[in-house]
Amino acid sequence: MAEKSFCVLYNPLASTGKGEEKARHLQEILGKDSKVEFQSLIDIEDKRTFIDQLPPDVIPIITGGDGTLSRFVDGLGGNPTRDIYYYPAGTGNDFLNDLGKTGDTEPFLLNPYITDLPHIHFNGETHVFINGVGYGIDGYVCEEGDRIRKKTGKPINYTGTAVKGLLGAYKQTHATVTVDGVTMEYDHVWMTPTMLGRYFGGGMMCAPGQDRLNMEGTVSLMVMRCKSKLRTLLLFPSIFKGNHVKVTKIVSVFKGHEMTVRFDRPTALQIDGEVYSGVTEYTVTTAAADRMKAETTDGAAVPRV
């Protein structure tokens, strides 16, 4: 990639305020002869227009963690129209972990991983996601983490916050779950995340059987329910290795193209770590499901995916 022109887009707030510092390491990686321009993502209101208007010989590189990457991709408003590269420079990187890459990896092509992303619909909003959406105690943990961070400015112990929730701060719900038209109901539900990748929450292997590039284009929905707080607390650490899915009396995993989850009370929802409070229902649709709906709306007879 030497002797080329690059536009490095960074989030100055990433990596606890060291986003720009980490991004500037790219000058060394790309080579001293390379022409490198640095641009803060915070200053770009329309990301799609900015990317599309870059000169053809300029290669865009996104730097940051999961949150930065997720917000950037959501801001594109659709599939990329040119090659975009990614360089990890954040504190959290479930995306990188899912790809089997380490934090010292060189910039790599992002397009295969951000094309035909699934959409999440809730409260009149629609977004895309790159890792997963969490609903239940995982949303509570992110919401509580944001509250503590704003109050104290200190790093968050997410595991400790999760334990606090399991011991009583978070109340279980009744959930109605619909997967590709089939509806099920569950009591004492702790969480119902829908995953494109395997990891969320800084290293939890929520959906060990999920492949973000699987040929069917499906996502995985995991339902964890259990009346006993103690039993759930004992099971919780196994999520980091993905072993929780073996306990089928508590955990169920479904694959499909359209997932709808409805709780009997408002709960926090997190999308790649971004928190939305007061959500009672969400629907995830894959690219295949979205295409089918679009074709059906146009009057074509399309078989169910």
Q: What are the tens digits of pLDDT across the range 92-125?
A: 689 999 999 887 788 999 999 999 999 999 999 9
**Burial readout 83-104 (b: 16 or more C-beta within 10 A, e: otherwise):** ebbbbbbbebbbbbbbbeeeee
> Do 232 and 179 lie in a common domain?
yes
3-state SS assignment for residue 16: helix
The predicted pLDDT at position 90 comes to 64
Q: For the chain, first and last CA: distance in Å?
A: 40
Token output for 148: 């503590």
- Does 287 share its domain with 140? yes
3-class DSSP state for residue 48?
helix
Instruction: Please indicate, yes or no, whether residues 137 and 273 belong to a single structural domain of this protein.
Output: yes
- Kindly state whether residues 155 and 289 are assigned to the same domain: yes
Q: Is residue 302 part of a domain?
A: no
Average pLDDT, the chain: 90
Q: Provide the H-helix boundaries in the chain.
A: 14-17, 19-23, 26-30, 47-52, 66-76, 94-99, 111-114, 137-152, 158-164, 229-235, 287-297
The alpha carbon dihedral of 117, 118, 122, 125 has a sign of: positive
DSSP one-letter code for 272: T
Among 114, 137, 157, identify where a domain stops: 114
Q: 0.85 cut: is pTM over it?
A: yes
Question: Are 83 and 182 members of one domain?
Answer: no
Are 109 and 141 in the same domain?
A: no
What pLDDT is attached to residue 203?
87
CA distance 234 to 237: 7
pLDDT by residue (tens digit) across 252-284? 999 999 999 999 999 999 999 899 999 999 999
pLDDT, position 305 = 31
Tokens of 167: 């011991």
Last residue of a domain, one of 82, 114, 146: 114
Beta 58-64 vs 204-205: how paired, if at all? Answer: unpaired
Please identify, among 84, 114, 144, the residue that sits at the C-terminal boundary of a domain. Answer: 114
Residue 228's pLDDT is what? 95
Range of the domain at 150: 119-297
| 102 lies in the same domain as 234 | no
CA atoms of 177 and 283, how far apart (whole Å): 10
Instruction: Give the CATH number of the domain where residue 72 resides.
Output: 3.40.50.10330
Beta bridge partners of 59: 6
DSSP string, 110-174: -HHHHSS--EEEETTEEEE-SSEEEEBHHHHHHHHHHHHHHHH-PPP-HHHHHHHIIIIIS--EE
Identify the pLDDT of residue 218.
Answer: 97
> Is residue 303 one of the residues assigned to a domain?
no
pLDDT for residue 3? 65
- Kindly state whether residues 49 and 153 are assigned to the same domain: no
Spans of the chain, pLDDT less than 70: 1-3, 90-92, 155, 297-305
